[in-house]
Amino acid sequence: MKKKSNGLLYPKAFALLAVLALSSCDKNNEEMTTEATSKPTINENVKKGRLNGQDITYIRKDGLNFFQGDIVLTDEQLAGNDTKQQKGGASYSRWPQGIVYYTIASNMGSINKDKITAAIKEYSDKTNVKWVPKTSWLQWNYVDFIFGSSTGADGWANIGYRGGRQVVSLDQYISIPSVMHEMGHSIGLYHEHTRQDRDQYVNILWDNIQSGQEGNFSKYSSGEDIGAFDINSLMMYWSTSYSKNGLATIQKADGSDFTYNRTGFTNTDIATINKMYPK
């Protein structure tokens, strides 16, 4: 996301999210999504690209371009030839009228379908973004929820509104808040720790980061921070995300560790999203 205001990257173009502990029948620590549990990636997969005028590093894996861990970019986006996205980045690529049409893959399974339903209710109850089932071929701009791994607890998504079919991939044991996190990317939110003002609030411990994953901690400056930085945002990394030694990769600016539990939208997240999608 671009930088956030309210704790979310607009990128934050996209607000960050506080309250409400969502329970789920997922495994413990399901919340530990791709950015927290990824295995080290060999350096040969580390690529350089350009997104919205900014040089970035991403991981090429399984034919997909992973940015910040769980954001999948198209080759057109990375080549600077993206005609679907307006200049300015995801924060400016919002879903018209705040409506996101969606479909769910037939092999998703009832448990994950229930998680998607619960996540959609959170968006509908607390934000101005409405997720609506796709019922017509005329609704050709939509998000397709697809099934990922039957053993993992991760997910990934395309970023912002682009037009046509976009994807949110969900593993079997992903939690409801992590489903909401991936949906946040779909509506244009980047990760909280990549805000332009993040150095005032957190330290990045580069020596503890897995080789090849350093790019996931770079600031994304081609956007706009919306609201205040929120270390509890739904879009925040875990303190040990991509750690190579079990030690913190992110600490508070005062050098202390933080305990973060992904439980749902924060007040900041809600404010950011609603600023991005005003009524």
Q: Judge whether 114 and 120 are in contact, CB under 8 Å.
A: no
Residues 6 or more apart whose Cβ sits within 8 Å of residue 90: 1, 2, 11, 13, 14, 159, 160, 188, 189, 190, 223
Q: Judge whether 76 and 83 are in contact, CB under 8 Å.
A: yes
> Can you tell me whether residue 226 is helix, strand or coil?
strand
d(Cα 66, Cα 234) in Å, to the nearest integer? 19
47-70 burial string, b = 16+ CB within 10 Å, else e? eebebbeeebbbbeeeeebbbbbb
d(Cα 77, Cα 80) in Å, to the nearest integer? 5
Catalytic one of 31, 182, 192, 224: 182
d(Cα 134, Cα 214) in Å, to the nearest integer? 38
d(Cα 224, Cα 8) in Å, to the nearest integer? 10
Q: Encoding tokens for residue 118?
A: 């619960």
How remote is the C-alpha of 259 from its chain's centroid?
19
Going by their DSSP bridges, the two strands 250-252 and 165-170 should be labelled as: unpaired
**Is there a catalytic annotation at residue 182?**
yes
Catalytic residues: 182
